[in-house]
Amino acid sequence: MRTVVIDGPASIRVDTRPDPALTGPDGVIVAVRAAGICGSDLHFYEGDYPLAEPVPLGHEAIGTVVEAGPDVRSVKVGDEVLVSSVAGCGACPGCATNDPVMCHSGLQIFGGGALPGAQTDLLAVHAADFQVRRIPEGISSEQALLLTDNLATGWAAAQRADIPLGGTVAVIGLGAVGLCALRSAFAQGAATVFAVDRVPGRLQRAVDWGATPVASSTVESILAATGGRGADAVIDAVATDASLTDALFAVRPGGTVSVVGVHNLQPYPFPALACLIRSITVRWTTAPVQRTWPELIPLLQSGRLDVDGIFTATLPLDEAAKGYARAAERSGDDVKILLTP
C-alpha cells in the first residue's frame, strides 16, 4: 500500500509499505477514501518536532471497512465510516465517557508515530467500536472528514470558552479549526465573533459567515470594539507565543481563553501575574472527538451548522508533497486540502 511519510523538514514522500493486518479481534481495516492535511501536521513539515525516523502522517480519514475482527459489533465490512483522530483503548472507565483523552492507558493520535498515519491506502484501527462510526445518512464526505478532527476540535474549543448567550468571542487563526470554532461559537450563542487573521482571503471567509474582521493590532482592536473591556471569550486556534499573549490580554477580566492551537516544543513565558490579577480562566483542549458526534451530527443533518467551504482543494495521494507545500503557504485560497488515495 501507499502511505505519506515525512523524513525531515519539508521532505514529504509517498512510500510503499506492506498492507496492514488487524490489530486484534476488536480491530478493522479501512480502505481510506479521503484524508485531510491538518494544521498540526505542519509542525512536522516545518521542523517544530524532531524526527528520529520517517513518520507516517495524517490523523483524519474516512473510508470503507474491508476487514473486521470477530469482536467488532458497530460496523461491518462494506460500511462507510469515519475514524476518530484521537484514540483510546475503548475499554476503560475513561473511554466510557466517550472522551479518548480520558483513556487510562493514555490517548494516542493517528500519524504521530505510535499509530499509523491516515494519509494512506489502508488504515488499521484498533478498538473499532470506540474509534470508528458509520457515516450517518445526510452527512457528506467533507462533513464526515471534519468530524474526525477539525470540527470536533472547534466545537470543543467553543464549549470550553464559557461563551455567554449574546456574548462576544474572538477567534484567533482562521485555518480549518479556527473557522470551525467560529461557526461553533455562533451556534452556541455568541452574538459577535471577532475573526483574527493576517490573510485577507481567510478574513473574508469569516466575514461571509457573519464575523467581524480583525486584521492587525489584535488586542487594541478588540478592546476598542468592546469599550475597553475585552471579549467575553477568546479562542486561540494558533498557539504561537504571540497569539497566546494576544488572547490573554484581549479577553475581559473574568473571561475565558480556550486554546486548541498546537504549540511548538519551546517554553512559553506565561504572564501568570496578569492572569491572576484579572481572574482569567485558561483551558487547553485536545478534542473529545467521539463525545462531540451526538451533538454535531444532528446539527449538520438539519443544516443548523454549516461547514461548507472549509475544504478548498482536492489532490490525489501521490501529490501529497504538493498539498503540504500549499498548506504551508497559509494562503487565502487554500484553507484545507483533501487527499484522495
Q: What is the pLDDT of residues 231-282, one digit of tens each?
A: 999 999 999 999 999 999 999 999 999 999 999 989 999 999 999 999 999 9
Cell of 25: 479481534
The pLDDT assigned to 22 comes to 98
Comparing CA positions, the residue from 217, 216, 262, 265 lying closest to residue 239 is: 262
Give the single-character DSSP code of 100.
G
Task: Output the pLDDT for position 283.
Answer: 98
Q: Which three cell numbers stand for residue 33?
A: 477514501
Q: How far apart are CA 111 and CA 85, in angstroms?
A: 9
State the average pLDDT over residues 278-304: 97
pLDDT of residue 217: 85
Question: Band of the pLDDT at 188, cuts 50, 70, 90?
Answer: very high
Helix, coil or strand: residue 316: strand
Q: What is the mean pLDDT of the chain?
A: 96
Cell numbers found for residue 128: 473499532
pTM: 0.96
Lowest mean pLDDT among 84-88, 181-185, 322-326, 332-336: 332-336
Which grid coordinates are listed for 98?
466517550
Within the chain, all domains assigned CATH 3.90.180.10 are found at 2-149+288-339
Position 135 scores a pLDDT of 98
Distance (Å, rounded) from C-alpha 306 to C-alpha 327? 22
Q: Which residue type sits at 211?
A: A
Look at the chain and count its residues.
341
pLDDT above 90 as % of the chain: 96
Instruction: Please report, for residues 44, 214, 242, the alpha-carbon distance to residue 203 in angstroms, rounded to integers and kept in the order given.
Output: 26, 8, 19
Query: Which whole number is the average pLDDT over 40-55?
Result: 91
Answer whether residue 216 shows pLDDT above 80: no
Q: What is the mean pLDDT of residues 177-190?
A: 98
Q: According to CATH, where is 3.40.50.720 located in the chain?
A: 154-284
- Alpha carbons 265 and 44: distance in angstroms, whole number: 12
CB atoms within 10 A of CB 141: 16
d(CA 97, CA 242): 34
Q: Which amino acid is at 203?
A: L
- Rounded to whole angstroms, the Cα distance separating 38 from 34 reads 13
Q: Which CATH architecture has domain 154-284?
A: 3-Layer(aba) Sandwich (3.40)
Q: In what order do the strands lie in the sheet with 251-259?
A: 212-214, 192-196, 168-172, 231-236, 251-259, 281-284
* 57, pLDDT greater than 80: yes
Enter the C-alpha cell of residue 135: 457515516
Quick check: 215 pLDDT over 90? no
Which SS3 state, helix, strand or coil, does residue 172 take?
strand
Residue 60 has pLDDT above 80, yes or no: yes
Which cell goes with 84? 476518530
Pull the grid cell for residue 201.
482571503
- Tell me what the mean pLDDT of segment 211-229 comes to: 94
Q: Would you place residue 207 in the very low, low, confident or very high pLDDT band (cuts 50, 70, 90)? A: very high
- Find out whether 189 and 158 touch, Cβ atoms under 8 Å: no
d(CA 206, CA 258) in angstroms, rounded, equals 19
Query: Among 3.40.50.1820, 3.30.465.10, 3.90.180.10, 3.40.50.620, what is the CATH number of 2-149+288-339?
Result: 3.90.180.10
- Cβ distance 88 to 107 under 8 Å? yes
The neighbour count for residue 19, using CB atoms within 10 Å, is: 11
**Angle at CA 59, nearest 5°, toward 99 and 66?**
95
Check whether 20 has a pLDDT greater than 90.
yes
